[in-house]
Structures are given as C-alpha cells and as structure tokens.
Structure 1
Amino acid sequence: MDFKQFLVVLRRRWLSIVLLVTITVGVASALTFTQTPQYASQSRVFLTVDVRNTTDAYAASLFASNRASSYADLAGSTELAQRVIDQLDLDMTAEQLASRISAEVTESTSLIELRVTADDPQEARTIAEVTTAQFTKYIADLETPRAGSESQLIAQVTDEASLNRSQVSPNVALNLTVAVLIGLLVGIALAVTRDLLDRTIRTADHVAELTDAPVLASIGFDHDIRTAPLLTDLGGFAARTEAFRLLRTNLQFIDLDHQPRSLVITSAVPGEGKTMTSTNLALALAQTGRNTLIIDADLRRPRVASTLGLDPAIGLTTALVGKTEIHDAIQVHEASGLHVLASGAKPPNPTEILQSKITQDLIRRLRSSYDMVIIDAPPLLPVADASVLAKLADGVIIVVRHGRTTKDQVNEAIKRLNQVGARLYGVVVNMVAKRAVGSYYYYYYEETGPAGRQPIAGPTRAGDKTGRRQA
C-alpha cells in the first residue's frame, strides 16, 4: 500500500476513525472527571555532617550523599507515616498515608525533596509540614541508635511545605491528548487492517483483477430509489439518468463489427440491483427510439412487470404453455414505449423451462424482431438459470454492488459463464456510496442514485396497469 492508497483508505474509513477517537476521548473524560482532584505540597531537607576539620569535609559530603538516597526510600515507610498519623490524628492507615508520601534526591547532592498529596491543598500542606518535621526526627533517631550518643548526620529543613492550589492530578490536558493519539493510532490501524482484509469490489482495479471485461458504468446510491425507481420518474439531468445514458453509449462500443442485439443482465448473488439495472437500461434504450424488449426471465422472483406497473400474470410462461400468443403476452410501457414480456405464472421447474427448445426458439425469434432484447436473469451463484440464458444471448453484463459483492463471488460467477461459453461484455458497479468519491467509479456532478435496489411494490391488479398489451 503506497501513500496515495493510504490516504484513500483514511478518506473512506474516516467515520470509523472519528468514532474510535470519540470513544477513547469519552472514556478518558469519564475517568478523568470522575477522579478526585489531588493537590501536592513540597518541602526540602538538606543532610549534612558535622565536621570541624576541612580535611574531612569531602568525605563527609560523600557520606551525606550516600545516606540521602537511603533516607529518601525511608520517607515512604509506614513507620514515618504512623508518626504523622498519631500527631495529626488522621483517619487513615499507615499504608494509605505512605502511598501519598514520596521523596526524591536532587542529583549529586544530599538534598531530599519531600512530596505529599491530598484531596485538599491546605490538607496537603499540613500533612507535608508534619511529615517534614517527623522525617528529620526519624533520621536523628536512626543515626543515634544508643542513648546518649550524638548523631553526626544533621537533617535541616531548607524549604518549608508549600501551598499549591493547582491540582496535580488528574492532568486533564495530558489525559485527553493521549486519548486522542491512542484513538487515532487504533482507528488508523483498524482502517488499514479492514482495507487489507476487505474482499469487496470497490475500484476498477478490483474488477480488472478478475476479468478483462471493462466497467461499463457505475450507478450512485440514491435514497429516493423507492419513490422514484425508474428513469421516467427522474429529470433529464439526474445523476442516475446520466449513468444509464453512459451505459447505453458504452454498449455501442462493445463490438463494432457485431453489435449486440440481446443481453442478459444478471448478478453473482441476490440484492445487487440487477432487475433495476436491466429495467432502466431497457428504458434508456427505448427513449432513443430503438425498438426494445425486456424479458423477465427470473421465473423465481419476477419483478420487472411490477416495477413498471404492468400485469405480471401474463407473460413468458403463459406463452410457452400455449395459453396465449406471444404478441398478446407482450405489453407496452406507455411512458417510454418499452415492450415488456413479463414472467407469467411461476412454474415449479424454472431451469427446465428455460433449457427447453421452445424457449430457445422463442428468444431467437424475439431477437430477430427487436433492435435490442434485454433479459433480466436470476443471480448466477444460487441457481443455473442465468447460465442457461447466457448461452442464448449475444453477451452478459454482471451487476455488482459496490462495497458488498466480494471478489470471490464475482470470480465464481465469471467461471460459470466461461463454463457455458458465454461472453461477458462488462460489469456495472451499482449503489456506489457518496463516500466512495475517491474511487475510480464515481464521477457524476451530483449524487442521486442506486439504480439497483429493488423497490417495495405491492400486488398489481390487471385494471391498474399503466401499459397495454401489444395488438
């Protein structure tokens, strides 16, 4: 991953990074602001040796320095803490007070700095004053183990206990800064890890890894797809309209020597938006004046007719079994002039029906009667129907859903097409999210649409049709 790809990952995953930073800052804030503020008071004690001979001064200085480190350790002893508790009559144990007392020796000196923390600045100063006094007595007691003897080591208070009204703990600025840094590091690490483990289709390079077929178009995600699923519901300059115009135009350059007249539109798995893509592509072709027919060959979950507001009960299966003539089964979408052959009644054996010779002959006859025949087929991986239909058409277009369809699913779908000798014309990337603006797909002036999400349509009665049967 180079730096440019790293920036693209950050841009795509920025929301999760911000979320992690927010969580870490929230946790740090909760811990910080629920802690009791602590205040500190400092004092200093100087250790010296009583010598009158200057010859011994250097040795005395070394002796005092060595002793200073030892007594600094003893400043946090329970013995000293108990003396302070007894004098101040504190309501705590020696261990509790000892944890509040610390001492540090100034480097290369015999100067000891005592530090006492408490919940109140005045209390900290009071305890520090008594601790300092008891500390000097404690040193004297240790240096005079025998009664009547004199201590050569003298502890003198050089700085009385201070009164500091600024809290020393918790450090709000430091805690929040560390929380932000931790959140950023964890968020970026997770974002990069997720991207490296992500097997979904997101860029043109991902498609190129799987097939030489081009990306014919990308269709943006549209929250209004349920209320305006068709191109006839949109304005002429809507982004979704432009996307299908681009797809319609690119079809003209697929094979200049042999222009396709029949296309199978399918997907690897359900939910990729292949029905909406095939329907709107057929509408886009019909709007140019081309004699276009769309066949709803998804006999398991037919949706083309209901999407167009036509009667789904009469169509392909009713014509195949001889209940109606094919010209009576074809309906016309009045708003666009698109001819529609609905699925008809659901059969118990869809694959066998599509494999039959009568179905193959019918599709060949329809192909010769129209400028373009669009066949909406079931997904490739769950059933074999699309593979059967792919052999009857000039080529296939696979619809993949941006950020959801995986490379493995697309790869397996392409293998199934290759097994039956079908030609893959290209790939349509559907439901491209707005945040994918950094990818190679998204290039529209405005954001409108997932041409691809299946609309929720209720049952359509014959009298509610917006089209008519072809005479």
Structure 2
Amino acid sequence: MEETISLKELFHTLRKRLSLIIIITAIAAATSGLISFFVLTPIYQSSTQILVNQSKSDQQVFQYNEVQTNLQLVNTYSVIIKSPSILEKVIEKLHLDMTSSQLNESVTVESEQDSQVVNISVKDENPKKAAEIANTIAAVFQSDIAQIMRVNNVTILSKAELGTDPSPIQPKPLINITIALFVGIMAGVGLAFLLEYLDNTIKTEEDIEKHLGIPVLGAITSIDMEQEIKNQKNMQTNIARTRGESYGS
C-alpha cells in the first residue's frame, strides 16, 4: 500500500527537525567561508590588448580583402601567442620558475567575433607578476611575429597595469557562501525527511492506526503522582471544611 504525505505532515517534519536544518546550514556556510578566506589562495588576473592590422601611410587606404586577411590571422596568432617558442622567451626574460606548459595554463587568449583586437589575460597569485607576464608576452610576440610570419602587423593597444588595490578574480567568498547556504538547506531538509522516514517508533494513537492499520480502542495516559496526591489532599481538606461548616450551622 502506497503511503501519502500531506502538506501538514511536511510542515510538521520541517518544524520538528528545524534545529537540525539550521545546524547543517550554519556548518556548511561557516566551512565555505573559512575555506574561501583562509585556505584558498587568491588568484589575480591582468590583461593586455594587441591589434592585428597592417600599418598604412596616410595616402593608402585599407582594402576589404586585407581586413579579412587580418581577421583570419587572429586565430593563427592566438595559437602562436601560447606556443612554447613565445612562452619560453617570456620565462627566460622574467626568470620564471615554471615550464612553458605551466605558463600556458595560466594564459588565456581571446578575441571578439570579427574583431582584430586580441586580449591576452594572465592569472597568477601575484597581481604584479600577472601584469608583467601579460606585457612581456605581448612584447615578445610583437617582436617575433615579423620573423615568424614575415609581416609587421601587430600593435600593442593597451598594456596591463597594476591597480592601487587589485581584487582577486577567485575565490569569491560571497558566492561560495551563498551556494553553501543553498546546499546546506537542501541537505538539511533531505536529512530531516530521511530521519522521519526511518523513524518507525510509535508515539501517538495516530501512529498506531498508520503503521498497524487497526483502530485505537483505548489509551493509557501517564499520571503525575505528586500532583494527584496534592489534588486528593486538597479535596479532603475542602470536604472536611464543608462538613465543619455544616455542623456549625
């Protein structure tokens, strides 16, 4: 026989296990906050931009085909920027204690669709180091591309700069804590219903009818003996007082 749970029973379970849900949620949020603020290492990002475009004199005009060629070169340049030949020179110039593969993982090269502008972003634990790496990659690429592709069509638009108070891009404590709160609530509610489902103890007359399927004919209630004795003494005192008043009249 399938059991159905009413909305009233759902709210009763939530109210009954509310302390458990609150504790689990608080632990999840606190753990997330501690990890975000004290365990995870902040990661900073710095970016520079380069323009892929053939230099022209004032008398010359840009041809549509040349622009299309530059757009096609953007994809090729994005690969060359992250190639070992470029990154190894960057490592050598900055005396970085890492391999080209490790540096490759921290470098991101992106460009908007139909745009000749390429963004070079670098992530690092040190914001100053991230800016230095990004600028060095752009400078090395600009100087080497003339030899690699036999063209001189790269211009550095903007260099990576270190702000007065750089903010890390990760971790994001507020987002992490919010996610932990949501997960904690879901876990607490789930555990509350699981415990309620596994709890087969009989506490009320309704539980007897629910689990055994038989009607309740009677119930044995608990009696507070001290209160019962006190009530009997009060009753005897009242009776004796009533009799005394009757004799006196």
For Structure 1 versus Structure 2, the TM-score category normalised by the shorter chain is 0.7 to 0.9
Contact 2:109 2:120 in 1 (8 A): yes
Alignment of 1:127-276 (within 5 A): 127-144=133-150, 151=151, 154-164=153-163, 165-202=166-203, 204-209=205-210, 210=212, 211-213=214-216, 216=219, 231-232=225-226, 236=227
**Unmatched 5+ stretches in structure 1:** 145-150, 220-228, 237-283, 290-471
Partner of 1:12: 16
Q: 1:123 aligns with which of 121, 129, 142?
A: 129
Residue identity matched to 1:16: L
Point out the structure with the larger strand share.
Answer: 1
Query: Offset of 1:207 from its aligned partner?
Result: 2.4
Higher normalized contact order (CA 8 Å, seq sep 6+, divided by chain length): 2
Give the distance between the partners of 1:203 and 1:47, measured in 2 at CA.
79
Give the distance between the partners of 2:182 and 2:168, measured in 1 at CA.
24
Task: Point out 4+ residue stretches in structure 1 off by more than 6 angstroms.
Answer: none
Partner of 2:47: 42
Alignment of 1:422-437 (within 5 A): none
Query: Offset of 1:21 from its aligned partner?
Result: 2.1
Give the distance between the partners of 1:106 and 1:203, measured in 2 at CA.
68
Query: Offset of 1:93 from its aligned partner?
Result: 2.2
| Aligned CA-pair RMSD | 3.1
Q: Deviation string for 1:389-438 (max 9, x for gaps)?
A: xxxxxxxxxxxxxxxxxxxxxxxxxxxxxxxxxxxxxxxxxxxxxxxxxx
How many correspondences in the alignment? 221
Alignment of 1:240-319 (within 5 A): 284=228
Secondary structure of residue in 2 paired with 1:103: strand
Query: Offset of 1:161 from its aligned partner?
Result: 0.7
TM-score, scaled to structure 1: 0.42
Matched, 1:24 2:14: no
Partner of 1:110: 116
Give the distance between the partners of 2:80 and 2:204, measured in 1 at CA.
67
Contact 2:24 2:187 in 1 (8 A): yes
Secondary structure of residue in 2 paired with 1:17: helix
Contact 2:122 2:133 in 1 (8 A): yes
Give the distance between the partners of 2:77 and 2:218, measured in 1 at CA.
78
Contact 2:205 2:216 in 1 (8 A): no
**Structure index of larger Rg:** 1
Give the distance between the partners of 1:75 and 1:200, measured in 2 at CA.
68
Give the distance between the partners of 1:42 and 1:186, measured in 2 at CA.
40
Partner of 1:95: 101
Give the distance between the partners of 1:137 and 1:121, measured in 2 at CA.
25
Give the distance between the partners of 1:24 and 1:140, measured in 2 at CA.
55
Point out the structure with the larger helix share.
Answer: 2
Give the distance between the partners of 1:288 and 1:213, measured in 2 at CA.
30
What is the percentage of aligned positions where both structures have the same residue? 22
Q: Deviation string for 1:208-236 (max 9, x for gaps)?
A: 222311674777xxxxxxxxx9631xxx5
Q: 2:77 aligns with which of 44, 63, 71?
A: 71
Residue identity matched to 2:185: L
**Unmatched 5+ stretches in structure 2:** 234-249
Query: Offset of 1:87 from its aligned partner?
Result: 0.8
Residue identity matched to 2:133: I
Give the distance between the partners of 1:139 and 1:61, measured in 2 at CA.
18
TM-score, scaled to structure 2: 0.74
